[in-house]
Amino acid sequence: MKPLIKTEGLYRYYGDHCAVRDLSFELYPGEVLGLLGPNGAGKSSTLRMIAGNLAPSAGRVWLDGVDLQSNPIEAKRALGYLPENPPLYPELTVDEYLHYCARLHCVTRDLLAVAVSDAKARCGLDDVGQRLIGNLSKGYQQRVGIAQAIVHNPKVVILDEPTVGLDPIQIREIRSLISDLGSERGVVLSTHILPEVQATCSRVLILHHGEQAYASSLQHEYSSLSRCFLIRLAQPPALEAIHALPGIGHVDQLGQGHYRLCLADEVECSANKLIEQLVQTDWGLEEFVPEQQGLEQIFVRITAGEQNIS
């Protein structure tokens, strides 16, 4: 299956400061990727490079298989983008603005009315089509921003803080919309709200100091919490040697002799048996702790600088 987004070795420098460092990932149809990180982690710079609004210092981006650098117009046809500050025109009505955005995205005149009507319906804007954007509440303006990102029915949708300023009911509606978009497209969602990621995303990628610090499938994460363990080894071997232990399904290297081990699905292997296997090696087992944490704990542990997860 062809990825809808592919990045390879992305770097972005602002003077001597490296905001994004060697970032590579792929996004496939039917996936919603949650992009997390503290302020200054490189999230917005990453999204702007993927959207073609910011040139990378190094690296490449493909959208629906089209190289963004060599063929930007064709690549951007597949993209819908909501930046952190929606690009709204307060002097236009909602209908005028969405018609304008649809034409910018080359929606043909015979499909224009249907495209705008569908975007308004999805974002709960049917009752405000004739109102000036400048007179709308912050929540409704955010909805208009999302509508302009999907009005041309793109294959890839990038949403930077899409629920800022929305009330709890509106947030639930937008989460439902994001899940609906992700069922047939690829969606990248940047947010500071961890429950939002848990509610809508199928994968998570955490940035810290511009680098990928953690990446995981959320389904795998939460289905395997009780079968994962954090260990520390005095004489750590090659990662492949740990993965070769009987019953091990997944290994994350956390740095400085720390590892996260997850037992393989449907494998009968107790914690005691795993400890016994580790003690029999010459790796010097110093710590063995069952993992009892969720996404919030992982995020705090990474961004607090305790460990780096790759």
Instruction: For CATH 3.30.70, list the domain ranges present in the chain.
Output: 224-303
Q: What homologous superfamily is domain 1-78+154-223 in, according to CATH?
A: P-loop containing nucleotide triphosphate hydrolases (3.40.50.300)
CATH number (3.30.70, 1.10.10, 3.40.1350, 3.40.50) of 224-303 reads 3.30.70
> What percent of the chain has pLDDT above 70?
93
Mean predicted confidence (pLDDT) in 69-81: 95
Instruction: For CATH 3.40.50.300, list the domain ranges present in the chain.
Output: 1-78+154-223
Residue holding tokens 């210092």?
Answer: 57
* 116, 95 Cβ separation under 8 angstroms: yes
For the chain, where are the E strands, in sequence order?
5-14, 17-27, 32-36, 58-63, 66-67, 79-82, 156-160, 186-190, 203-208, 211-217, 228-233, 248-255, 258-263, 285-290
> Mind listing the pLDDT tens digit for each residue in 113-127?
999 999 999 888 999
SS3 180: helix
Tokens matching residue 216: 């995981």
Residue 207 CB neighbour total at 10 angstroms: 27
Mean predicted confidence (pLDDT) in 268-292: 84
> Mind listing the pLDDT tens digit for each residue in 243-276?
899 888 889 888 888 998 988 865 566 778 888 8
Cα distance between residue 110 and residue 9, in whole Å: 41
